[in-house]
Amino acid sequence: MYTSFLYHAFGVREQECSCVRYEDNSIVLKLQTRKDKLCCSVCKSKNYIRSGVQIRRVPSVPIGSKQVILEIKVQRLACKDCQSIRQEHIHFVTGKRAYSNRLARLVVELSRVGTIKDVAHHLHLSWDTVKDIQKRYLYRNYNTPDISQVRHIGIDEFAVAKGHIYKTIVVDLETGRVIYIGDGKGRGVLDEFWKKVTKAGIQIEAVATDLSPAFIVAVTTNLPKATLVFDHFHVVKLMNDALDEIRRGIYREEKDLNKRKVIKGTRWLLLCNGKDIFDNKYKSRLDNALNMNEPLMKAYYLKESLREIWTQVNKEQAAEVLDKWIEQAYEAKIPKLTTMANTLKAHKWGILAWYDYHISTAKLEGINNKIKTMKRQAYGYRDQRFFGLEILAMNEKKLRICRMKHK
């Protein structure tokens, strides 16, 4: 068989094919190293004695729909110069892997458009072999993200198994890349990331997080010069949660059945942006619910005015709006609103920092949604390392390591 065909089709350049046979629906190519290429694998000397032979079979890229098996006659050589006794080096297979390098490249390419199960079926490989190839590729290319140009980061956590297993991610907010994944949640989970930042010698200017005390302590301790920005979507969500608690409390305490009917089912109307309600029927229902209950009305209009903090011309005007909001919340004398006012007062500096750096954790929320989709498509992950590598690689648009049920 022509040497050029062996090289271009299967990546074989130092061996010659002595026989081609058809076996169990597969094409078997019998290979052995040419005499002029045979040498000691340690010192490359040609002064050796042959000391045995082992037959090794590895799958390579298919021909049409037929699997191709490379049956290699591997020589055991006793070198007279370095005194080593080793098998010859086979350049188109890495180490003791059970597949050729050319096949591994094909698996990665097909993984951009098909699931692990699809690729395994098409190439006549086991599910575990395809996953092993994917995992090695991901580790080689994405295990150590480049953070040399990172200036703005976002930090958030997500549940792998709700209530049991959590992971914390750090995202470069300028590129949208996941640059770190830590197991667990809390202050200590970011320790390895801070070491990488110190080693890289980078200066992170701003960090976006929610109001998590653990994240606040971690950032202020390890990045004392960075500006910490509290994500405004999380602040709004806190207010939405407080409003919903007030609604539920009013519903439980209300004895009048007619009033209960009006309050019931108003959650969506209360929590959505008032400017987005165009239907007169819904507007009327919302007005009825608010008019019959003063605490609910106060909480609702405070919720609506909270967004004005981030629509001001400058930081000074925003501070005035925030102070006024806190004052009105205290004056309402509703426990949930008092708690919310205390929270905003304590975190005022980080909320207003948005005017120094217009960053948020919105990109992290998008990534978290993609992670949920990944988990759903894969029916969960048992190999957490593989899961982490897929997250690090998810921003690569040309790569689609597809998911099926993970073992």
Whether 45 is in a domain gets the answer: yes
Q: Does 350 lie in the same domain as 252?
A: yes
**Residue with more model confidence, 45 or 164:** 45
Whether 213 is in a domain gets the answer: yes
Domain end among 231, 263, 294:
231
The pLDDT tens digits of the residues spanning 226-282 come to: 999 999 999 999 999 998 898 888 878 777 777 777 777 777 777 777 666 656 666
Q: Does 205 lie in the same domain as 240?
A: no
Residue 267 pLDDT: 74
pLDDT bracket for residue 61 (50, 70, 90): very high
Domain end among 167, 200, 231:
231
Each residue of 53-73: b (16+ CB within 10 Å) or e?
A: eeeeebbbbbeeeebbbbbbe
Q: Does 286 lie in the same domain as 213?
A: no
Residue 276 pLDDT: 64
- pTM listed for this prediction: 0.78
| CB-CB contact of 111 with 127 (8 Å) | no
Percent of the chain whose pLDDT exceeds 70: 91
Q: Any residues with CB less than 8 A from the CB of 401 and at least 6 apart, and which?
A: 111, 134, 138, 390, 393
Total number of domains in the chain: 4
**Mean residue pLDDT across the chain:** 86
3-state DSSP percent of the chain in helix, strand and coil, to 5: 50, 20, 30
The pLDDT tens digits of the residues spanning 322-363 come to: 999 999 999 999 999 999 999 999 999 999 999 999 999 988
| CB-CB contact of 26 with 68 (8 Å) | yes
Residue 68 pLDDT: 92
Give the whole-angstrom CA distance, residue 218 versus residue 232: 20
pLDDT over 50 at 407, yes or no: no
Whether 362 is in a domain gets the answer: no
Residue 270 pLDDT: 76
Give the whole-angstrom CA distance, residue 70 versus residue 100: 9
Give the whole-angstrom CA distance, residue 37 versus residue 216: 62
Whether 103 is in a domain gets the answer: no
Q: What is the mean pLDDT of residues 190-216?
A: 93
**Residue with more model confidence, 82 or 376:** 82
The pLDDT tens digits of the residues spanning 35-45 come to: 888 899 889 89
Q: Does 331 lie in the same domain as 294?
A: yes
For residue 288, the number of C-alpha atoms closer than 13 Å in the C-beta half-sphere is: 15
Domain end among 231, 258, 292:
231
CA 91 from chain center: how many Å? 34
Q: What is the mean pLDDT of residues 160-165?
A: 69
Q: Does 122 lie in the same domain as 34?
A: no
Q: Which residue has the tokens 């290319």?
A: 141
Q: Does 236 lie in the same domain as 218?
A: no
Q: Does 237 lie in the same domain as 223?
A: no
Whether 159 is in a domain gets the answer: yes
Q: What is the mean pLDDT of residues 104-131?
A: 89
pLDDT bracket for residue 406 (50, 70, 90): very low
| Residues present in the chain in total | 407
Rg of the chain taking only CA atoms, in angstroms? 31
CATH assignment of the domain containing 166: 3.30.420.10
Q: Does 303 lie in the same domain as 245?
A: yes
State the residue range of the domain holding 394: 111-143+372-407
pLDDT over 50 at 404, yes or no: no
Q: Does 74 lie in the same domain as 94?
A: yes
Whether 257 is in a domain gets the answer: yes
Mean pLDDT lowest among 150-159, 168-177, 249-258, 375-384: 375-384
Tokens standing for residue 208: 């976006």
Q: Does 351 lie in the same domain as 237?
A: yes
Q: Does 128 lie in the same domain as 19?
A: no
pLDDT over 70 at 153, yes or no: yes
Whether 13 is in a domain gets the answer: yes
Q: Does 297 lie in the same domain as 198?
A: no
Whether 174 is in a domain gets the answer: yes
